[in-house]
Amino acid sequence: IGNLDILGIETSCDETAASVVRRHADGSGEILSDVVLSQLDLHAAFGGVVPELAARSHVTTLDRLVKQALEESKVSLKSIDAVAVTSGPGLIGGLMVGLMTAKAIAMAADKPFIGINHLEGHALTARLTHAVKFPYLLLLVSGGHTQIVLVKGVDDYERWGTTIDDALGEAFDKTAKLLGLGYPGGPAVEQAALQGEAKRFRLPVPMRRDPRLDFSFSGLKTAVRQMAEEQAPLSPQTIADLCLAFQTSVTSSIDDRISMALERFAQRFGTESEPALVVAGGVAANTAIRTTLETRAAKSGFRFIAPPLNLCTDNAAMIAWAGAERIAAGLEGDALDLAPRSRWP
Q: Which residues are annotated as a binding site for Fe cation?
A: 118, 122, 314
Pick one of 29, 89, 185, 340: the residue that binds ligand KG4 (CB under 6 A): 185
Nearer to Zn ion, 172 or 201 (CB): 172
User: Segment near Zn ion (CB under 5 A), from 129-137, 245-253, 307-315, 329-337?
Assistant: 307-315
* Packing angle, helices 185-193 and 168-178, rounded to 10: 70
| Binding piece for ligand KG4, criterion CB under 6 A, among 40-48, 51-59, 80-88, 166-174 | 166-174
User: From CA 173, how far away is CA 313, in angstroms rounded?
Assistant: 15
Stated as kind and residue range, the H or E segment containing 278 is strand 276-280
285, 290, 328, 344: which one binds ligand KG4 (CB under 6 A):
285
The residue within the footprint of Zn ion, chosen from 10, 34, 314, 325 (CB under 5 A), is: 314
Among candidates 120, 137, 28, which has minimal Cα distance to 319?
Answer: 120
Tell me if 14 sits within 8 A of 49, measured CB to CB: yes
Segment interacting with Zn ion, rule: CB under 5 A, options 29-37, 74-82, 141-149, 154-162? 141-149
Contact 284, 290 (CB under 8 A): yes
CB of 338 to Zn ion, least distance (A): 20
DSSP 8-state code for residue 215: B
Contacts of residue 236, defined as CB under 8 A and 6 or more positions apart, other chains included, come to 195
Which residues, other chains included, contact 268 with Cβ-Cβ below 8 Å and sequence gap of 6+?
none
H or E element in which residue 156 lies: strand 156-162
Among residues 30, 187, 219, 231, the one that binds ligand KG4 under rule CB under 6 A: 187
Q: Is 246 in the site for ligand KG4 (CB under 6 A)?
A: no
Given 86, 163, 286, 292, the residue binding ligand KG4 (CB under 6 A): 286
DSSP symbol at 284 = G
Residues in touch with ligand KG4 (CB under 6 A) = 13, 142-144, 169-170, 172-173, 184-187, 190, 281-283, 285-286, 313-314
> Which residue ranges make up the site for Zn ion (CB under 5 A)?
142, 314
